[in-house]
Amino acid sequence: MNTALIKRFCDFVDASPTAYHAVDNLAAALEAAGALRLDEREAWLLEPGQSYFTVRSGSGLIAFRPGLRPPAEEGFALAGAHTDSPALKLRLEKNLATRGMERSPVEIYGGPIVSTWLDRPLSLAGRVSIRAAGGFANHLVNFDRPVGIVPNLAVHLNREINKGFEYNAQNHLPVLLGTALPGRFGDEGSGGQGLAAMLGSELGVEPEDILGADLWFVDAQKTIVLGRAGELINGYRLDDLSGCHAILEAFLRSRPAPHGQVACFFDHEEIGSTSIQGADSSFLRDTLGRIAALQATTTEGFYRALASSFSISVDVAQAWHPSYPDKYDEAFAPLLNGGPAVKVNANLRYATDSEGEARFRLFCAEAGTACQKFMSRSDLAPGSTIGPMSSASTGIKTVDVGSPLLSMHSIRETLGSLDHEAMVAALAANFSASPRAGGKAL
């Protein structure tokens, strides 16, 4: 087992409590490996074989390495993942203080398993826009320590809770920050200022200088490795930081090639991807268009490049759960540490077709790893991914794959260490292989 890779993954997860932090860490790793940062507002000058990246709106990033030959002749090898995860988003301006108990209201982002967020120490992280000379400046925030908790109601007052209970975001999920202390804060917590005061203190600014904020309550516990041989990883936001980290590692392992190599990290997949930095946006097509134009590609040549490209959409797959075997079609229920899984759905919740599946199976074979297959029961609809959207907007052949994951959308999820290693190796094979190879178009 590659313990160094797993440690890098765990460190990446711990340092990436939000999409903004994930992109910041991706950018730092790329720059450390020699990649050059480009601003979409500026003119670009590209050199074949050199690594570059550009960030959009702080939480989306595309890294690329222009090919050594024209894109129209060689195409692009791509892989993409998403940087966001279900969470509780802070509503900063409103503070709740009742009988000395101070709470912060939240909104539910995406589709979390809400009950897993209760009775767990929560930290706070995200991005804050602060008044500055001539306008504002953005700052990343990570308290990196517990600041609050969502307390459950005692079973004595809700005898039916273990038979199922629906938590109301407005009434039940505000985060408890603290209580009044006689002689210190009076009767209403910290003077009714709540997290705005805490945030100002953390950043060294006055609360009124905070002009906007995108902040989430996040798990305060670090990622852990468990199992008899360290074969399991348990942590926050493994969906889809596992995909992000695997793509990063594979991209950095890859050497320049005749074709272009592109690593995509999109935000807002959990809420539909419709944002300027989401998969259902112009971000990828804009970037590929600029690369092609700067490699003297004509308009027709750009369309040829797209048709000559291949992409892997990397998101986690539902791992077989031994306590709920009836929820799976056992023939298509991937096991932890059984290898990456190809994700297939007749109604194109995933972008996979037979050609995409064949290509990914060949990549797995080249990497020396098994390849599993995930299909939901015929009477259940699976979730979706960035694959169908990015492929539809670009016309690039795409396969959806993922490492098997338990407890998807819980605040703590569990992944196989060997699956993460195998995914990195399979993605590296994709970046190295010609996207035109592997089959004839019909």
Q: Where are the domains of the chain?
A: 3-85+236-432, 87-219
Q: What is the pLDDT of residue 192?
A: 42
* 416 phi, psi to nearest 5 deg: -85, 130
Q: What is the pLDDT of residue 76?
A: 98
Q: Report the DSSP pairing between strands 224-226 and 232-235.
A: antiparallel
Nearest C-alpha neighbor of 319 from the set 291, 340, 290: 340
Q: Are 34 and 251 in contact (CB under 8 A)?
A: no
Distance separating alpha carbons of residues 26 and 54, to the nearest angstrom: 11
Distance separating alpha carbons of residues 94 and 104, to the nearest angstrom: 7
What is the crossing angle of helices 387-394 and 283-294, to 10°? Answer: 40
* 431 phi, psi to nearest 5 deg: -65, -30
DSSP state of 380: S
183 CB-contact burial (10 Å; exposed 0-12 / middle 13-18 / buried 19+): exposed
Q: Which residues contact 415 (CB under 8 A, 6 or more apart)?
A: 232, 233, 234, 238, 242, 316, 336, 403, 404, 405, 406
Distance separating alpha carbons of residues 202 and 144, to the nearest angstrom: 11
DSSP state of 317: E
Same fold, 3-85+236-432 and 87-219: no
Distance separating alpha carbons of residues 125 and 17, to the nearest angstrom: 7
Q: Which residues contact 250 (CB under 8 A, 6 or more apart)?
A: 79, 263, 424, 425, 427, 428, 430, 431
| Architecture (CATH level 2) of domain 3-85+236-432 | 3-Layer(aba) Sandwich (3.40)
What sign has the CA pseudo-torsion 104, 109, 114, 116?
negative
The CA-to-CA distance between both ends of the chain, in Å, stands at 41
CATH classification number, 87-219, choose in 2.30.250.10, 1.10.132.20, 3.30.70.1230, 3.40.50.360? 2.30.250.10
Beta bridge partners of 235: 413
Distance separating alpha carbons of residues 10 and 415, to the nearest angstrom: 11
Q: CA torsion 362→365→367→370, rounded to 10°? A: 120
Q: Report the DSSP pairing between strands 106-109 and 87-90.
A: antiparallel
Distance separating alpha carbons of residues 79 and 84, to the nearest angstrom: 17
Reading the chain (442 residues) residue by residue, the pLDDT tens digits are: 789 999 999 999 999 999 999 999 999 999 999 999 999 999 999 999 999 999 999 999 999 999 999 999 999 999 999 999 999 999 987 788 888 899 999 999 999 999 999 999 999 999 999 999 889 999 999 999 999 999 999 999 999 999 989 999 999 999 999 887 766 554 444 444 568 888 988 899 988 899 999 999 999 999 999 999 999 999 999 999 999 999 999 999 999 999 999 999 999 999 999 999 999 999 999 999 999 999 999 999 999 999 999 999 999 999 999 999 999 999 999 999 999 999 999 999 999 999 999 999 999 999 999 999 999 999 998 989 999 999 999 999 999 999 999 999 999 999 999 999 999 999 999 999 999 876 554 4
